[in-house]
Amino acid sequence: MSSAIAEQNARESTSPLLGTVLAVQANFYRVRLDTQETNQTKCLDVDKPLELLCTRRMRLKKIGVGVMVGDRVAIEEPDWAGGRGAIAEVFPRETELDRPPIANANQILLVFALADPPLDPYQLTRFLIKAESTDLDICLCLNKSDLVTGAELSEWRSRFTSWGYQPVFISVLGSIGLEELRERLNNKISVLAGLSGVGKSSIINYFIPNVNLRVAEVSGKLSRGRHTTRHVELFELPSGGLLADTPGFNQPDLDCVGEELALYFPEIQQRLETLRCQFSDCLHRDEPNCIVRGDWERYEYYLDLLEEAISYQEQLHEQSDADASMKLKSKGKGQSKYEPRLEAKRYRRTSRKTQHQDLQELYKEDPDL
Ligand code: GDP
Ligand code: ZN
């Protein structure tokens, strides 16, 4: 059953209180109730809170239904005075990210600065690949437009367009492009990503003016700053939509295998839409009649990252060989069989749909996530 149909059924049933989980804290879930859709007579009362701190019904625990930030849920037994409730149902997820753990995200808002720190297209490519591997949409946002000339800006624009992206150029300090960005975030769940110093906090503060207050509260209580906050949390955009604030992170490691890499370059996918390489398992390196090889800007990056992906693959292999030989040893003498080592190209391509959606490497500085 689709999420929309399940929600419709719930709305018509006896528990019409629906909402979105904004934060998970210990065994409590902070749930933002829908306003437009909620039944006026039952709960839309000015005195009633828009958020309830909820527990999860034992029944859900028993059947192993977990609750994530971003989940759409139905609430039972609201205690309006105490601001409490209980989650009775979790609706099917449209998407699911493992790290950071967020359900129903629509897009990754990847923020880079055009200057200060200087934009490194190779580093940006690594972030884009990590973001592409989640299968969510990508909103590429370039901040600090105030620090570059108009000519530099249009050069970047045409480069990113040739990479297959529709970038949005902004400057939080210079008030440039912020309305366009707001539109791109409208009514979506976006996950903010990018190195520190590019302006992510400035973006949050601009779009969610009273967020500072909350940050100050948290810092005061736990004596830690926002950047050491361990929990994923969705912030409400006043114009509609939710933004997941995430802790600082490093340059992502590449943990995909060789054949997957091409999936994460829109330029390659565009070429393969109309033409085919001679070999169906072409790695687009030096194979004859390869239609991908060419003088497009990021081809050099592709080759470079392909080498890295292949060594990653070999490492995985060595690991599994080591595990296998341990198992063989334990079987005793004379029983071991020689298994030929698979060639790199024999790996099956992982489907983007079934792939583990994971931004883990982006968040590796934060072990609790
Ligand atoms: P974060 O680490 O990604 O959260 O980045 P911050 O929001 O803390 O910003 C890092 C620095 O960049 C701060 O000194 C900001 O004042 C500055 N900054 C943010 N946005 C802009 C901008 O649009 N233009 C310029 N020139 N500086 C900016
Ligand atoms: Zn090829």
CA–centroid distance, 268 to ligand 2, in Å, is 9
User: In terms of domains, do 145 and 199 share one?
Assistant: yes
Is residue 62 in some structural domain? yes
* Residue with more model confidence, 242 or 333: 242
Q: Which ligand is nearest to the CA of 284?
A: 2
User: In terms of domains, do 174 and 155 share one?
Assistant: yes
DSSP 284-314: SSS-TT-SS-SS-TTHHHHHHHHHHHHHHHH
Q: Which ligand is nearest to the CA of 227?
A: 1
- The yes-or-no verdict on residue 210 having pLDDT over 80 is no
pLDDT of residue 305: 96
pLDDT of residue 202: 92
Is residue 139 in some structural domain? yes
pLDDT of residue 78: 92
Query: CATH number for the domain including 148?
Result: 3.40.50.300
Tell me what the mean pLDDT of segment 354-365 comes to.
43
CA–centroid distance, 111 to ligand 2, in Å, is 31
CA–centroid distance, 10 to ligand 1, in Å, is 44
User: In terms of domains, do 134 and 191 share one?
Assistant: yes
Q: Where is average pLDDT lowest: 16-30, 84-98, 233-247, 340-354?
A: 340-354
* Residue with more model confidence, 338 or 243: 243
Are 234 and 211 spatial neighbours (Cβ–Cβ below 8 Å)?
A: no
User: In terms of domains, do 127 and 229 share one?
Assistant: yes
pLDDT of residue 335: 37
pLDDT of residue 225: 43
Which sign, positive or negative, has the C-alpha torsion 29, 3, 185, 260? positive
- The yes-or-no verdict on residue 334 having pLDDT over 50 is no
Number of domains in the chain: 3
CA–centroid distance, 169 to ligand 2, in Å, is 33
CA atoms within 13 A on the CB side of 20: 23
pLDDT digits (tens, 9 = 90+) for 225-277: 444 445 788 999 988 999 997 664 556 777 888 999 999 999 999 999 999 99
Give the chain's mean pLDDT. Answer: 81
User: In terms of domains, do 56 and 122 share one?
Assistant: no
CA–centroid distance, 265 to ligand 2, in Å, is 13
Tell me what the mean pLDDT of segment 210-222 comes to.
49
Q: Is residue 173 classed exposed, middle or buried when 0-12, 13-18 and 19+ CB atoms within 10 A define those classes?
A: middle
Is 188's C-beta closer than 6 angstroms to any atom of ligand 1? no
pLDDT of residue 231: 73
User: What residues make up the domain containing 51?
Assistant: 3-93
Instruction: Write down how long the chain is.
Output: 369
Query: CATH number for the domain including 289?
Result: 1.10.40
Dist CA 117 CA 195 (whole Å) = 10
Is residue 318 in some structural domain? yes
Is 196's C-beta closer than 6 angstroms to any atom of ligand 1? yes
CA 278 to chain centre: 34
pLDDT digits (tens, 9 = 90+) for 85-119: 999 999 999 999 987 889 999 999 999 999 999 99
pLDDT of residue 6: 73
Is residue 337 in some structural domain? no
CA–centroid distance, 199 to ligand 1, in Å, is 4
Tell me what the mean pLDDT of segment 278-286 comes to.
96
pLDDT of residue 315: 86
pLDDT of residue 49: 65
Q: Where is average pLDDT lowest: 177-181, 257-261, 279-283?
A: 257-261
Closest atom, ligand 1, to C-alpha of 147: 26
User: In terms of domains, do 232 and 125 share one?
Assistant: yes
Q: Where is average pLDDT lowest: 188-192, 209-213, 255-259?
A: 209-213
Q: Which of 93, 124, 140 is the last residue of a domain?
A: 93
pTM attached to this predicted model? 0.80
Q: Where is average pLDDT lowest: 137-151, 202-216, 221-235, 306-320?
A: 221-235
Is residue 12 in some structural domain? yes
- Among residues 20, 26, 16, 9, the alpha carbon closest in space to that of 52 is found at 20
Closest atom, ligand 1, to C-alpha of 143: 23
Tell me what the mean pLDDT of segment 336-362 comes to.
37
222 contacts: CB under 8 Å, gap ≥ 6: none
Dist CA 354 CA 365 (whole Å) = 26
Is residue 361 in some structural domain? no
Is 201's C-beta closer than 6 angstroms to any atom of ligand 1? yes
pLDDT band at 223 (very low <50, low <70, confident <90, very high): very low
Dist CA 283 CA 281 (whole Å) = 6
- The yes-or-no verdict on residue 363 having pLDDT over 70 is no
pLDDT of residue 336: 34
Probe target for ligand 1 pocket from 181, 202, 205, with the most ligand atoms within 8 Å of CB: 202
Is 30's C-beta closer than 6 angstroms to any atom of ligand 1? no
pLDDT digits (tens, 9 = 90+) for 112-158: 999 999 999 999 999 999 999 988 999 999 999 999 999 999 999 99
User: In terms of domains, do 224 and 113 share one?
Assistant: yes
- The yes-or-no verdict on residue 10 having pLDDT over 90 is no
Is residue 368 in some structural domain? no
User: In terms of domains, do 74 and 116 share one?
Assistant: no
pLDDT of residue 328: 53
- The yes-or-no verdict on residue 217 having pLDDT over 60 is no
Query: CATH number for the domain including 74?
Result: 2.40.50.140
User: In terms of domains, do 179 and 82 share one?
Assistant: no
- The yes-or-no verdict on residue 221 having pLDDT over 90 is no
